[in-house]
Amino acid sequence: MTILRTALAALLALAATPPAAAADFPAHPINLIVPFAAGGTTDLLARTVAGGMSRQLGQAVVVINRPGAGTVVAAQSVAKAPADGYTLLVASNATLAINPLLMKDVGYSPTDSFGHVSLLGTVPNVVVARPDAPWTTLVQALDQARERPKGLAYGSMGAGTSNHIGMELVGLQRSATLLHVPYKGSAPALVDLMGGNVDVVVDTLAATLPQVRAGKLKALAILSAKRSPLAPEIGTAQEQGAGEVDLYSWFGIVAPAGTPAPVVERLNAAVRAALADPGVAATLKQAAIEPAGSTPARFAEFAARQRELYARIIERTRITLN
């Protein structure tokens, strides 16, 4: 009996002791995988936060750009990575909500393949037109589209993106005829807008706000439920009468499923401290990114609600990738 009690006590003590890997984490640099090319909004967000995390953790957080298939390539690689906290992913609404709903097989599970670390930030989607466009609001453009044979031609950042889905939703709610023209980035979309090949473009506030402020673009509405504190002068589609819509871009950090809880907690503390840093926050806000740290649990709950929201909208609008 004494031997049994001794063995049991040893097992309990072992269970109560944090794994060495977690206690010493991080012992070497961490890779932060970004599913988009360098130079864009997500890349800027990742590099800014990575710098803050590095200062908190005492190890470099190295940003690696791995674009492809609308974030799927990067997500698959991180889902298969060792669950040790040294390979992380900047996940977006495309990664955790939209792609699994629209693609037949993304090669990962949005619920089972990852452990949520923290939200990072949000960016509103905004509808912009040329400065000489005859409309001052999105509703005016949508209503006029009903009188045009081909409707309103709009550019988005690609089929199945949040700006595509948001525009289809307001078009449906306003009974407007729309012609969707997907692009592979902001630059070609805005070139076509200025050339008159499309009537409006739906893009992120981060990509368009400098040109709006410079008078080179006209902002018709943002597709969030509330005005952005970073651009309060731009009205929402909802307040203009385009119906209920609250779709925006959001980003967070996830780790491979099974990453030890103490490691996730250490990473979460580093992310939230980085976002609270005045210099980091100022850089993000200057780029029209609203910092939004969270606990792992709140991030998981948020992502689940977003999947449910997109599922309802995709069913209602009948959006496909075909």
pLDDT of residue 231: 94
pLDDT band at residue 21, thresholds of 50, 70 and 90?
low
Indicate if the pLDDT at residue 14 is higher than 60: no
Among the residue ranges 185-189, 255-259, 287-291, the one predicted with the least confidence is 185-189
Segment 111-148, tens digit of pLDDT: 999 999 999 999 999 999 999 999 999 999 999 988 88
pLDDT of residue 193: 96
Q: Are 156 and 181 in contact (CB under 8 A)?
A: yes
Indicate if the pLDDT at residue 9 is higher than 80: no
CA-angle at 287, arms to 286 and 291, nearest 5°: 85
Q: Which domains does the chain have, with CATH numbers?
A: 27-123+248-317 (3.40.190.150), 124-240 (3.40.190.10)
- Mean of all residue pLDDT scores within the chain: 92
pLDDT band at residue 40, thresholds of 50, 70 and 90?
confident
Q: How far is CA 114 from CA 45, 64, 108, in A?
A: 20, 18, 9
CA-angle at 243, arms to 130 and 229, nearest 5°: 60
pLDDT band at residue 101, thresholds of 50, 70 and 90?
very high
pLDDT band at residue 13, thresholds of 50, 70 and 90?
very low
Q: How far apart are CA 242 and CA 172, in angstroms?
A: 9
Q: Are 71 and 95 in contact (CB under 8 A)?
A: yes
φ/ψ of residue 81, rounded to 5 = -75, 160
Among the residue ranges 140-149, 223-232, 244-253, the one predicted with the least confidence is 140-149
pLDDT of residue 1: 47
Q: What is the pTM of this model?
A: 0.88
- For residues 233-254, average pLDDT: 96
